Structure 1
Amino acid sequence: MVAAVGGAALLSRRLTAGAPIPAWGNFPAIPTARSQGNIPTLKMPTAQGWGRGQTPVAAPGLKVNAFATGLQHPRWIHVLPNGDVLIAESINMARASMRNIFDYAMVSTMKRAAAVGISANRITLLRDTDGDGVAETQQTFLDGLNQPFGMELLGDTFYVGNTDGVVAFPYTAGASRITAPGRTLVEFKSGGHWTRSLLASPEGQKLYVGVGSSSNIGENGMHLEAGRAAIYELDVASGESRIFASGLRNAVGMAWEPGTGTLWTVVNERDGLGDETPPDYLTSVRDGGFYGWPYCYWGQTVDDRVPRDADLVATAITPDYALGGHTASLGLCWLPAGTLPGFPDGMAIGQHGSWNRSTLSGYKLVFVPFNNGRPSGPPRDILSGFLAPDERVSYGRPVGVAIGPDGSVLMADDVGDVIWRVTGDRPV
Structure 2
Amino acid sequence: MHATRPTALSVVLALVLTACGESATLQVADGTGAAPKLPAPNATMLPTVNIAPAIGWPAGAKPTPAAGLAVAAFAEGLDHPRWLHVLPNGDVLVAESNAPAADNKPSGIKAWVAGRVMKKAGAAVPSADRISLLRDADGDGVAELRTVFLKDLHSPFGMALVGGDFYVANADAVWRFPYREGETSIADKGVKITDLPAGINHHWTKNLIASRDGAKLYITVGSNSNVGENGMEMEEGRAAIWELDRASGNKRLFATGLRNPNGLGWEPDTGALWTAVNERDEIGSDLVPDYITSVKDGGFYGWPYSYYGQHVDARVTPQKPDLVAKALAPDYALGPHTASLGIAFSRGSSLPATYANGLFVGQHGSWNRKPKSGYKVIYVPFKGGKPDGAPVDVLTGFLDAEENALGRPVDVRLDARGALLVTDDVGNKVWRVTAAKGD
Of the three residues 320, 332, 337, the one matched with 2:343 is 332
The answer to whether 1:297 aligns with 2:297 is no
Q: Tell me the number of residue pairs that the alignment of Structure 1 and Structure 2 aligns.
A: 424
1: CA distance between counterparts of 2:99 and 2:154? 11
- Tell me the residue number matched to 2:37: 29
| Residue 76 (1) aligns with residue 83 (2) | yes
- C-alpha change, 1:32 and 1:337, in structure 2 (3 Å) is farther
Please give the alpha-carbon distance, in whole angstroms, between the structure 2 residues aligned to 1:343 and 1:97.
Answer: 42
Structure-2 separation of matches of 1:11 and 1:170: 53
- Does the 8 A contact of 1:88 with 1:148 survive in 2? yes
The answer to whether residue 95 in structure 2 is matched with residue 116 in structure 1 is no
Pairing 1:155–2:168 present: no
**What residue number does 2:48 align with?**
41
Structure 2 CA distance for aligned equivalents of residues 84 and 343 of structure 1: 24
Q: Deviations over 1:336-355 (max 9, x none)?
A: 17531032300000000001
- Report the residue type matching 2:179 in the other structure: Y
CA distance in 2, matches of 1:353, 1:48: 15
Residues 29-428 of structure 1 mapped to structure 2, 5 A cutoff:
29-37=37-45, 39-93=46-100, 95=103, 97-190=105-198, 191-307=201-317, 308-336=319-347, 339-341=350-352, 342-391=354-403, 393-426=404-437
Deviations 1:112-159 (A, max 9, x none): 111122100000000001100000001100001000000011111100
Mean CA deviation greater in 181-190 or 410-419: 181-190
Query: Retained in 2: the 8 A contact 1:6–1:43?
Result: no
DSSP 3-state at the match of 2:21:
helix
1:6 alignment counterpart: 15
Q: Secondary structure at the match of 1:394?
A: coil
Measured at CA, do residues 5 and 61 of structure 1 come closer, stay the same or move farther in structure 2, by a change above 3 Å?
same
Equivalent residue of 1:186, what SS? strand
Q: Which amino acid aligns with 1:134?
A: V
What displacement does 1:63 show? 0.2
Taking a change above 3 Å as real, the CA distance of residues 87 and 98 of structure 1, as seen in their structure-2 partners, is closer
Distance 2:104 2:65 in 1: 40
2:261 and 2:321 map into 1 onto residues whose CA distance is 23
**Residues 404-413 or 297-306, more deviating:** 404-413
Contact 2:104 2:115 (C-alpha < 8 Å) held by counterparts: no
| 1:196–1:210 contact (8 Å) kept in structure 2 | yes
TM-score, structure 2 normalization: 0.94
Tell me if the contact between 2:100 and 2:171 (Cα under 8 Å) persists in the aligned partners.
no
Alpha-carbon distance in structure 2 between the residues aligned to 1:426 and 1:338: 16
What SS does the corresponding residue of 2:161 show, helix, strand or coil?
strand
Offset from partner CA, 1:231-282 (integer Å, 9 cap, x none): 0111111111111000000000010111111010000000001112110000
Distance (Å, rounded) in 2 between the aligned partners of 1:426 and 1:202: 34
SS in 1 for 2:224: coil
Query: 2 CA distance for matches of 1:396 and 1:382?
Result: 15
Alpha-carbon RMSD across the aligned residues, in angstroms, is 1.4
Q: How far 1:12 moved relative to its partner?
A: 1.7
Q: CA deviation at 1:104?
A: 2.2
* TM-score normalised by L of structure 1: 0.96
Between the aligned partners of 1:397 and 1:183, the Cα distance in structure 2 is: 33
Contact 1:20 1:31 in 2 (8 A): no
State the distance in 2 between where 1:31 and 1:53 align: 42
1:151 and 1:24 map into 2 onto residues whose CA distance is: 31
Q: What is the Cα deviation at residue 4 of structure 1?
A: 3.4
CA distance in 1, matches of 2:328, 2:269: 22
Residue by residue, what CA displacement relative to the aligned partner does 1:95-117 show, whole Å, maximum 9, x if unpaired?
A: 46443233222211211111122
- The structural deviation recorded for 1:65 is 0.2
**Within 1, Cα distance between the matches of 2:420 and 2:12?**
38
- Percent of pairs identical after alignment? 51
Match for 1:108: what amino acid?
A: R
8 Å Cα contact 1:337/1:343 also seen in 2: no
Contact 1:20 1:276 in 2 (8 A): no
Return closer, same or farther for 1:337/1:129 CA change in 2, 3 Å cut-off.
closer
CA contact (8 A) 2:348 2:418 kept: no
Per-residue CA distance 1:207-227 (angstroms, 9 max, x = gap): 110100011111010001000
| Matches of 2:86 and 2:422, distance apart in 1 | 12
How far does the alpha carbon of each residue in 1:12-68 deviate from its partner, in whole angstroms, 9 at most, with x for none? 214xx645563622221211111012x121221111111111000000000000000
Work out the CA distance in 1 between the residues paired with 2:150 and 2:334. Answer: 34
Change beyond 3 A, Cα 1:321–1:19:
closer
Determine if contact 1:119/1:147 at 8 Å carries over to the other structure.
yes
Task: Give me the whole-angstrom Cα distance separating, in 1, the residues matched to 2:391 and 2:173.
Answer: 34
